Chains A and B, each alone.
Chain A
Amino acid sequence: MNPEHGQEEHEEHRRADFASKKGEIVLRKHEYDGIQEYDQKLPNWWLVTFFGAVIFYLIYWFAYYQAGLIETDQDAVTNAIAEIQKEKAEALEKTLANLNDKVLVNEWATDGAIVAEGEKIYSQVCIGCHGPELDAPTKLGLSLVDHEWKYGDRPMEIFKLINEGSPAESKGMPPTGAKMIPWGATYSGKQVAQMVAFIISKNPEDFAKFKD
């Protein structure tokens, strides 16, 4: 059969331009370069999909723009974040209720598992500025093993510093004024306390005065 002109006749179907009844199939009279076309009514499920989507447009637009039933994105995200912040503040308050200098030094810093947790976080994020040996060789952050505690030498002051970042009045690290970000934004109060425990464990003599 010659592929160019070999279209077989589909004689079983009536030749007409349009189908007029459901289930009827007509073969259109006109042919294009040998290509024939049936005309068939459209499947119901297809029509339902199409008109359903059109009707959904009308309903959704009405619900949002006329009836104001759906929250704006801005309100939704602001409310959700505020909710999380609130929960976070409550959790922090709970942690702080049982936390003081003595507890941190005597209970947290002496518990190997807690210190290990703190070390894990340290080696993920703190290491970038304070260095693997805590001595800040790149000067991106302060050394944590030079026995100087610029923002206070009490464990709870260190907790506050990690949780809230460098104080607002701090000039940061010279020359660019790099400041430590508030890690409390990323980590829970418990995790911050674990980091403090790790730091205490690395400086036993500095915190000996809080020992029982």
Chain B
Amino acid sequence: MTITYDDKTPRQFMIASIIWGLVGMLVGVIAALQLSDWRMNGAFLEAITFGAFNADGVSWLTFGRLRPLHTNAVIFAFVGNMAFSGIYYSTQRLCKCRTASDKLSQIHFWGWQAIILGAAITLPLGLTQSKEYAELIWPLDIAVALIWVVFAINFFWTLAKRNEPSLYVALWFYIATIITVAMLYIVNNLQIPTSLTHSYPIFGGLQDALVQWWYGHNAVAFFLTTPILGIMYYFLPKAANRPVYSYRLSIIHFWALVFIYIWAGPHHLLNTALPRWLQTLGMLFSLMLWAPSWGGMLNGLLTLRGGWAKLRTDPVIKFFAAGVTFYGMATFEGPLLSIRAVNELSHYTDWGIGHVHSGALGWNGLMAAGMFYWLAPRMWKTELWSKSLANLHFWIALVGILLYVAAMWTAGITQGLMLGQLNEQGTGLKYEFVDTLLAIRWPYYFRSFGGTLYLIGFALCAFNIWKTAKSGSPVNGTAEVTPLEREKKDFLGLKAIFVHKSVQHIFCVILFTILWIFAPRGGDYAALALVIVFAVLAYRAFRKDVKSWADFHDSLLENYIPLTVLAFIAVAIGGAVQIIPTLMVDRAKNIEGRLQEAYTPLELAGRDIYVAEGCYNCHSQMIRTLVPDVMRYGRSGHDDDYSHLGESIYDFPFQWGSKRTGPDLAREGGPLVDKENPHLRTGKRDNLWHFNHFLDPRQTSPGSNMPPYPWFFENKTDFKSLPKRIAVQQTLGVPYPAMTRDEIEQSAREQAMAIADTLKESAYLPDQPDLSGDELRNYLAERQIIAVIAYMQKLGAYTEQELDKNKPDTFDPDQQRQFRKEAKEDETAQR
């Protein structure tokens, strides 16, 4: 019978991807320019409107709000729509049937665009959760989850209706994408709303950090990598007209990739207060991830072997070959950056930014362009409008990426080295933070230039596709298919996946490796021995009966539910092993002797403003266990003044940050001025310093690229919402004393008056030159600036705690190690 594919949906997704791609990349270029010149945060509007628009800074245009818009637009709107386009197009053909429901396809498409529009409005307004790539507020989160379920139903329903017995490797990757993103997104977005637009995550401090980067890292893995690998496996052999290089490589790299990727999240938190065992797992699994990632690259590049001649003539092959090569480069750089010693230098610098852009611009962007150029002529039944324009796009994009990445390597390594450099005597640090920022001005300009080139190239792509579409007319593909008999597919029950010895052996190896992580003294050796025993058994069983293992996998491919379940188990293990023990550890006890002091209502209000402005995009709150960090940000006289995990345990959400464009703020605050008065603290810097700094950062820190925040001095603090916010914090376990609604508001207002009082004689407000004395105090007390200052002065406040040394935590390998060490020392002492 003849079937007609639904090619309208992939067409729509492709157009959406191109439009949002232009938006996302344009925002990226603006954000890059903002780092080169602070006036790009709003002051430039005055120049381009000839003075009609006059502001030092515009709230919705600042870097802190635009950067999340850039990342979300590129990840979810550009790559997301591109991936959906490729998935809808290829799944129908690989299943030899039309997508199960046109209605669901349309709900998916329009729902997704509505969510993106919602993000594009809310993020510049400062409505954010502050978790990277998960900034969207809770109503949008729910919408994302619902639309994702629609997508999943449509996809799996199509698999169920397929007329092709066996599932091709591209589909395995799509399956892994759908189930894993659902799991990550839901867990990382568990939160309690305080209003329609605001919520607190249910995890705080290190738990929030761990869950966030389990999500953040695997958003890269399962949103930016696995769907695109699936697309590579379909479109690349099609375009090259060559067989895929190796089927067995597909099997090994697929299973290894989805299982190992999940564990690598903590490499975003190396050398922080995150427990060492999690850091170690993050590093070691990242190293193990190298080969599986390169498996994908090999299967892509070696498929082109024998077809290289096409590289010169066909722009599609050019884009695919370069995209896969960048994938290989980025997945080599990733494990490299995950080595703790390398990470000391690279973390919190632009090296990380360079790394993600070789993935985003090189892998995602070039693969997307290759796919668009291949799809457009087929979806509009015509020829590509201009091959030479596509070639021009390729070369501009390539030069743009190389400039971008090289600039970020230079900036990252330069800044990393400067921040760690000691003075001639070896007794102090050589450079102030701002010196390091000034040193990388030129690389920043080159980055902006490289990004602009890339945007221009992509605009050429958009134009070319538009002209192509206009030269043809939309068509839907058709195919002759023989309906598949029911019993030829999906005949295995769920039990079947657990009875084959390949699964059993591998499962045992994994199980005992996990037990080895947690087992107390004695048990650990037994677990290690069993790991080795089962590894040997598995190897011998495999050698003896390769055919049975291969046949089992082939039969798995004819049964989509068992395959999906097995893939889900593979991706669920890593997160479960890392997150569940971290949630079970007694927080009050396991805090390394320091317990954070809860924020007063005003300080909490200030913190929520800090979060809303996206300050975490440039400022970390984490002094790593590294000499330069402790020397730069620790207090003198404390030689263990790195951030302990108890110091941020009541932070909902955590604000450890991932990049330092400005200095770390973990110890910005200080002690109470007067022990009897809880309102005034004196931190590293005075209230007036902060006042002047937010008004004009360059007045207090010459050379800074921070935007001014003039609206802090106009907008009022939201005192009314505080009772609800504090009630939610109490639910989450923050030890607030019992306070009525009125007491909360009164406390906040009193503290605001006390802080404003310290400024009334010395502060000068250019917009309100007539205000002084008590009038100025009363004016300021209402404004956001005072709440933010209150928060600044509280940063890093903690109390010393007695540790209960006698009660080990079962699920803490670091404590186990400590006990082992002490026992050994006792033994030696007795001898």
Query: In this complex, what residue of A is CB-closest to B90?
Result: A33
CB within 8 Å for A176 and B428 given contacts A17-B554, A61-B280, A61-B516: no
Determine whether the beta carbon of A6 is less than 8 Å from that of B243.
no
Which DSSP category, helix, strand, loop or mixed, fits chain A's interface? mixed
Query: In this complex, what residue of B is CB-closest to A79?
Result: B639
Q: Which residues of B contact A65 (CB under 8 A)?
A: 277, 524, 813, 816-817
Q: Which residues of B contact A19 (CB under 8 A)?
A: 248
Determine whether the beta carbon of B686 is less than 8 Å from that of A54.
no
Q: Which residues of A contact B284 (CB under 8 A)?
A: 53, 56-57, 60-61
Which DSSP category, helix, strand, loop or mixed, fits chain B's interface? helix
Give Cα A33 to B554, complex, Å.
18
- Shortest CB-to-CB span from B289 to chain A, Å, is 8
Residue interface bits B136-174, CB-to-A below 8 A is 1, else 0: 000000000000000000000000000010101000000
Give Cα A187 to B166, complex, Å.
70
Determine whether the beta carbon of B682 is less than 8 Å from that of A177.
yes
A178 is contacted by which of B164, B250, B277, B682 (Cβ under 8 Å)? B682
Give Cα A46 to B72, complex, Å.
35
Determine whether the beta carbon of B244 is less than 8 Å from that of A36.
yes
B310 in the interface (beta carbon within 8 A): no
A210 in the interface (beta carbon within 8 A): no
Determine whether the beta carbon of B241 is less than 8 Å from that of A6.
yes
Q: Which residues of B contact A39 (CB under 8 A)?
A: 246-248
Q: Which residues of A contact B285 (CB under 8 A)?
A: 57
CB within 8 Å for A81 and B630 given contacts A49-B294, A179-B682: yes
CB within 8 Å for A84 and B627 given contacts A46-B294, A187-B428: yes
Q: Which residues of A contact B237 (CB under 8 A)?
A: 35-36
Q: Which residues of B contact A68 (CB under 8 A)?
A: 817, 820-821, 824
Determine whether the beta carbon of A72 is less than 8 Å from that of B94.
no
Among B427, B428, B637, max chain A CB count under 10 A is at B427
Determine whether the beta carbon of A77 is less than 8 Å from that of B642.
yes
Determine whether the beta carbon of A124 is less than 8 Å from that of B432.
yes
Count, chain B residues at interface, CB 8 A: 85
Q: Which residues of B contact A97 (CB under 8 A)?
A: none
Determine whether the beta carbon of A42 is less than 8 Å from that of B252.
yes
CB within 8 Å for A78 and B524 given contacts A33-B93, A73-B625, A87-B426: no
Query: In this complex, what residue of B is CB-closest to A173?
Result: B686
A193 in the interface (beta carbon within 8 A): no
CB within 8 Å for A91 and B630 given contacts A18-B550, A82-B639: no
Determine whether the beta carbon of B271 is less than 8 Å from that of A73.
yes
Query: In this complex, what residue of A is CB-closest to B642?
Result: A77
CB within 8 Å for A50 and B426 given contacts A65-B524, A74-B625, A139-B762: no
| A residues 89-133 touching B (CB-CB < 8 Å) | 91, 124, 128-129
B234 is contacted by which of A35, A57, A82 (Cβ under 8 Å)? A35
Residue interface bits A130-163, CB-to-B below 8 A is 1, else 0: 0000000011100000000000000000000000
- Shortest CB-to-CB span from B471 to chain A, Å, is 17
Count, chain A residues at interface, CB 8 A: 74
A203 in the interface (beta carbon within 8 A): no
A23 in the interface (beta carbon within 8 A): no
Q: Which residues of A contact B627 (CB under 8 A)?
A: 77, 80-81, 84
A41 in the interface (beta carbon within 8 A): yes
Determine whether the beta carbon of A78 is less than 8 Å from that of B636.
no
Determine whether the beta carbon of A66 is less than 8 Å from that of B524.
yes
Residue interface bits B423-447, CB-to-A below 8 A is 1, else 0: 1011111001000000000000000
Determine whether the beta carbon of B425 is less than 8 Å from that of A177.
no
| In the A-B complex, the 10 residue pairs with the closest CB atoms | A185-B636, A50-B291, A36-B243, A73-B625, A88-B427, A32-B168, A177-B673, A81-B639, A40-B246, A178-B686
Mark A residues whose CB is within 8 Å of B.
3-4, 6-8, 10, 17-19, 27-28, 30, 32-43, 46, 49-50, 53-54, 56-58, 60-62, 64-66, 68, 72-74, 76-78, 80-82, 84-85, 87-88, 91, 124, 128-129, 138-140, 172-173, 175-179, 181-182, 184-188, 190
Q: Can you list 18 pairs linking A and B with CB atoms under 8 Å apart? A: A8-B241, A33-B164, A37-B243, A38-B246, A49-B291, A50-B256, A50-B288, A50-B292, A66-B524, A66-B528, A68-B821, A77-B642, A84-B627, A129-B686, A176-B682, A177-B682, A185-B636, A190-B425
Apart from A33-B94, A66-B524, what are 6 other A-B pairs with CB-CB below 8 Å? A37-B250, A42-B246, A53-B291, A56-B284, A74-B642, A177-B680
Mark B residues whose CB is within 8 Å of A.
90, 93-94, 96, 164, 166, 168, 234, 237-238, 241, 243-250, 252, 256, 271, 276-277, 280, 284-285, 287-288, 290-292, 294-295, 298, 378, 423, 425-429, 432, 477, 516-517, 524-525, 528, 531, 546-547, 550, 554, 625-627, 630-631, 636-637, 639-640, 642, 673-674, 680, 682, 684, 686-689, 700, 757-758, 761-762, 813-814, 816-817, 820-821, 824
